[in-house]
């Protein structure tokens, strides 16, 4: 008897409970539902990083972002090419240094923009960021609103501003027709 035919002799069907397929589908639909519910933002800023894995880890630890894991683009070699992180009701893309003409400050030597993020507790956020090793660019001191905001660099030099959510940069009352 040929080897493959011998192996075939050991093939045996399993006996399933009738509901086996229903439970599997519930698992899938729950995962789908998770992805359906997140908002679909109109504008997504894209930040380039030389080391996306390190960036994701830092943004989660230091700044409290959360990766939307299902959307991660990963090569067969395990290299992450792109990921999305969320914070509050916003989403930011974490992309590859050099892709789409975007340059990490680590490479370019200068940051060309900063991101302003509204948080509920600036002091607690500041402590968390410092504890995770964030380099502070501006302390949460000064007069008025500036006492309730601070700025920090991530490991590749992107600059982030964290401001109390009541003091968002575009308050409703200040927008005029």
**9 lies in the site for other proteins, by CB under 8 A:** yes
In the DSSP assignment, the letter for residue 134 is P
Tokens 């370019």 sit on residue = 108
**1 lies in the site for other proteins, by CB under 8 A:** yes
How is 78-91 classified by DSSP, letter by letter?
S-EEEEEEEETTEE
* Binding-residue pattern over the window 63 to 92 for other proteins, x denoting contact by CB under 8 A: ------xx--xx-x----------------
Name the one range near other proteins by CB under 8 A: 26-34, 88-96, 106-114, 162-170: 26-34
- Residue 114, both tokens: 């900063």
Q: Which of 101, 106, 49 is nearest to 79 (CA)?
A: 49
C-beta of 44: minimal distance to other proteins in Å?
Answer: 15
Across the chain, the runs of DSSP E, i.e. the strands, are 46-49, 66-67, 73-74, 80-87, 90-96, 114-119, 135-138, 149-153, 159-164
Sign of CA dihedral 109, 50, 160, 157: negative
**54 lies in the site for other proteins, by CB under 8 A:** no
* Binding-residue pattern over the window 110 to 149 for other proteins, x denoting contact by CB under 8 A: ----------------------------------------
**42 lies in the site for other proteins, by CB under 8 A:** no
**99 lies in the site for other proteins, by CB under 8 A:** no
Site size toward other proteins (CB under 8 A) is 35
Whether the Cβ atoms of residue 83 and residue 157 lie closer than 8 Å to each other: no
Can you give the binding site for other proteins, defined by CB under 8 A?
1-4, 6-17, 20-21, 23-32, 35-36, 69-70, 73-74, 76
């Amino acid at each position: 008897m040929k080897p493959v035919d011998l192996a075939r002799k050991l093939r045996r069907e399993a006996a399933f409970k009738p509901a086996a397929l229903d439970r599997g589908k519930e698992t899938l639909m729950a995962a789908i539902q998770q992805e359906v519910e997140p908002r679909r933002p109109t504008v997504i800023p894209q930040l380039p990083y030389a080391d996306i894995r390190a960036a994701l880890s830092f943004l989660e630890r230091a700044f409290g972002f959360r990766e939307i894991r299902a959307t991660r683009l990963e090569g067969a070699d395990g290299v992450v090419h792109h990921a999305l992180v969320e914070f509050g009701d916003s989403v930011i893309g974490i992309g590859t240094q050099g892709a789409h003409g975007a340059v990490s400050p680590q490479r370019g030597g200068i940051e060309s923009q900063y991101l302003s993020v509204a948080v509920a507790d600036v002091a607690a956020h500041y402590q968390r960021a410092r504890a995770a090793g964030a380099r502070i660019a501006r302390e949460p001191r000064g007069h008025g609103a500036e006492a309730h905001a601070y700025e920090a660099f991530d490991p590749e030099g992107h600059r982030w501003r964290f401001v109390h959510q009541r003091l968002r940069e575009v308050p409703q009352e200040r927008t005029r027709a």
